[in-house]
Amino acid sequence: MSTTFQLDTSTSRANPTPQPMKRLTVPKLRARKVDGRVEEPLVMLTAYTARQAQLLDAHCDMLLVGDSLGQVIYGLPSTIPVTLDMMANHAAAVVRGSYHSVVVCDMPFGSYEQSPQQAFENAATLLKQSGAAAVKLEGGKAMAETIEFLVNRGIPVMGHVGLTPQAVNVLGGYMARGRSDSEAEKIVGDAKALDEAGAFAIVIEGVVEPIAIEATEAVSAPTIGIGASAKCDGQVLVTEDMLGMFERVPRFVKKYGDIASTIEQTAAKYASEVRTRSFPGPEQTYQPKSD
């Protein structure tokens, strides 16, 4: 039985845009790379809520429901504790809040590494429960068989090479990758393997620029850089980092705003008005109707 995802717009604060745009598709994004290059770089940001998706949707080609929500939303120390239920619930909210972007959902740690069959079962669950268009999973050549298995069964997959946060315990930290010849060779080889397995796009994270460029030129799928190179076929950032929600961010993040200060200042103004009884004022207060 098929499921239709609909919005109840009657009482929600986060109503959809009045004139919905036609949503992009995975094949259209994949086709943007022609003869080894993308004419206009692809834009991707993370989103975890319906309202956030609404605000970002018109400006992005893809919205990533990243497992970074573990740290950004839940205050967890890493992405490792994130669950399938967390991902499915947030992805569903992002789908409800968007009309234009391709919504990609991260597969959390432990949900796909055991076998291609395990990966398919959990990926199918994520897509069915959320309505997202694709999944993303981390890892290089070791994940090629799994990606091919998923793609052959109708699940679009975005790959992820270089610095892979779910493997931070093995990697020993969040340092840039590709500085040694052996590591550089592995990253390029990993990207090629995922490309050949059928990944429609590949995230390259935390990789020194020459290797990111080499990997981008070596694959037919678009590459999405994060802490890599402007010469990747697109870019992604964690939205909260980009907006300036946190004081400490990775070196590769550019803060395009200072939302944290705005929130603090606004909360301080609200608190002051409550304590001085200037809020609520006449405009925010109900009065009895006159006869």
pLDDT at 259 over 80: yes
Cα distances from 206 to residues 39, 64, 210, 229, in angstroms, run: 24, 17, 12, 9
Q: At what angle do helices 144-151 and 181-197 cross, to 10 degrees?
A: 20
Q: Is residue 205 among the annotated active site residues?
A: yes
* DSSP string across 184-240: HHHHHHHHHHHHHHT-SEEEEESB-HHHHHHHHHH-SSPEEEESS-TTSSEEEE-HH
Give the pLDDT confidence score for residue 22 in this predicted structure: 84
Binding-site annotation: residue ranges for 3-methyl-2-oxobutanoate: 67-68, 106, 136
Average pLDDT over residues 161-166: 85
The active-site residue, picked from 40, 183, 185, 205, is 205
Tell me the three state secondary structure of residue 15: coil
Binding-site annotation: residue ranges: 67-68, 106, 136, 138
Give the pLDDT confidence score for residue 107 in this predicted structure: 98
pLDDT at 43 over 50: yes
Give the pLDDT confidence score for residue 170 in this predicted structure: 62
Binding-site annotation: residue ranges for Mg(2+): 67, 106, 138
**pLDDT-based confidence at 9, cuts 50/70/90?**
very low
Instruction: Mention every residue, 6+ apart, whose C-beta is less than 8 A from residue 142.
Output: none
Q: What's phi and psi for 157, nearest 5 deg? A: -130, 135
**pLDDT-based confidence at 177, cuts 50/70/90?**
low
Evaluate whether the domain defined by 26-257 bears CATH number 3.10.580.10.
no
pLDDT at 7 over 60: no
- By mean pLDDT, which of 50-64, 176-190, 199-213, 216-230 is the weakest? 176-190
Report the alpha-carbon distance of residue 214 to residue 220 in Å, rounded.
Answer: 12
Give the pLDDT confidence score for residue 10 in this predicted structure: 40
pTM score above 0.85: yes
DSSP assigned state of 176: -
The percentage of residues in the chain with a pLDDT greater than 70, rounded to a whole number, is 89
Domain boundaries, the chain: 26-257
